[in-house]
Homo-oligomer: A and B are copies of this chain.
Amino acid sequence: MQETKKESWFNCDVCIFKQTICHFITDEEFESLFEATQQLKFKRNEYIMKQGAKSDYIVYLSKGRVKMNSETDSGKNIILTITNAPILLGGAIMLNDSINIFSIIAIEDCDVCLINIDILKSFIIKNGELSLKLLEFLSGMFKDSIYNFISLAHKQVNGRIADILIYLSKTIYHSNNFTLTITRKEIAEFAGCSQENVIHTLTRFHKDEIIRSEGKSIEILDMDKLIKISKIG
């Protein structure tokens, strides 16, 4: 986790955040926002935003994949959702008070911009189009969490694992044949079940020739069947 400011090794010109959000602000405004922005690199398992802590920034993830993690006092974890770049992730600002109710943790090497909320807020007040765009952006991050919530509540493990495999393939790795960057334990935390249950389910899917599962490598052989399992629950 190293910081290199002013001498940006990120190319802001290709940044979605700059292109869409900052499209509405002047060059000088962008400069002052940029001055107050930290550009950081995170490695796997490093905290980008910590549950329980105050944060005065929102996170723009320009490269890599992260998990939103909630941990109990007893040390149990659940993963609200997994997401990948490019995306804007707001912790505190979206939740009305300044304390994060979940953590954002890198599951791969990530490039991140931490954008100061106060300065951004001052622009929002001056610029309505910006705020509308921001509203759209930030709200998007909840959608996946809610979907996962619904999946978790409605379905049992078979269906939930099917959902997760479909989600990983379509939204996270963009392929039917992908190499996991998360552990079975993390899949279990995502599905809200035990690690052993994940493994049992995966081997069952493997035997039924719905997927090919070999260590970190997973290939979806029969997407239709997987969707059917997801629908049944």
Contact = CB atoms under 8 A, between A and B. Distances in A.
A53 interface: no
Contacts of A149: 80, 145, 148-149, 152
Interface stretch (A15-23, A37-45, A130-138, A199-207): A130-138
Contacts of A102: 146, 150
A128 interface: yes
A127 B132 CA distance: 10
Contact of A125 (B74, B78, B132, B147): B132
Given A94-B142, A146-B101, A132 B128 contact: no
Nearest to A132: B124
Contacts of A5: none
Contacts of A74: 233
Contacts of A73: 231
Contacts of A72: 154, 233
A192 B131 contact: no
Contacts of A145: 146, 149
A202 to B, nearest CB: 20
B128 A78 contact: no
Interface in A142-201: 142-143, 145-150, 152-154, 192
A216 interface: no
A139 interface: yes
B136 A96 contact: yes
Interface string A207-230: 000000000000000000000000
A226 to B, nearest CB: 16
Interface string A93-135: 1111000011000000000000000000100111111011011
Interface of A: 70, 72-74, 76, 78, 80, 93-96, 101-102, 121, 124-129, 131-132, 134-136, 138-140, 142-143, 145-150, 152-154, 192, 231, 233
